[in-house]
Amino acid sequence: SDGGAESADAGSEDSITLGFAQVGSESEWRTANTDNIKAAAEAAGVTLQFSDAQQKQENQIKAIRSFIASDVDVISFCPIVETGWDTVLQEAKDAGIPVVLVDRGVTADPSLYVTHIFADALKEGANAFNWVDEYMTAEGKTPRAGGDQFQVAYNVICSQTGEYTRAKGMEVMESFLKSDGDKIDILFSCNGDMALGAIQAIEAAGLKPGEDIVIVSIDAAKGEFNAMIEGKMN
């Protein structure tokens, strides 16, 4: 897609028209999310105008303005970044079109959108590290002292965005291994594709993912389940 809105369904005159500006298709989760949005709109009889922003904020803003010009009933999008939305959200509000944020949030005035549907990321992180603590304890591995980020004795020695893609996840993990490879006990990844990329880097370095480095990620995509079956992800 070139980032422009495409109508998925001609719909009827009395149906609700939803304009949805998606981040892109950078990961298994995002692709599944897109399929779900399209299927749910069809099942609900909603006319969907869908736009793939290809990871560019300017494409999302362009799509939202296209939705406003088309006078859709509702606009929804997953913000690529937190900032820079005030102007276009004000335009939607002035046009009387409600905006629903999904997944990620924005720093704009909350009065510019009607609601934000998202997972509790803090709870996700707490659940993940509660599991890590139990696992490391059961394995007889003593947590490294010095860090208090997760209210247990784990020290975050390196952190960098992998941009939610497998290729970038591999690149970042290669960098981590070169600088701190002998110090890394656990890898926590904010999505599955980055974790799968990291696994490639770990194996290339002659280490065993899931054993030499405990790997925990967020998404529950098919690739992650396959990695768990293979013993490469915890």
Would you put residue 98 in left (φ > 0), alpha (ψ -120 to 50) or beta? beta
Cα separation values, 193 from 35, 145, 167, 170, 217, Å: 18, 29, 8, 9, 9
Interhelix angle for 86-94 vs 57-69, to 10°? 10
Per residue in 209-225, pLDDT tens? 999 999 999 988 999 99
**Contact by Cβ (8 Å): 199, 233:** yes
Residue 189 phi, psi dihedral angles, 5° rounding: -120, 135
CB atoms within 10 A of CB 57: 16
Q: Rounded to two decimals, what is the model's pTM?
A: 0.79
Per residue in 145-184, pLDDT tens? 444 444 456 788 999 999 999 999 999 999 999 999 989 9
CB atoms within 10 A of CB 163: 16
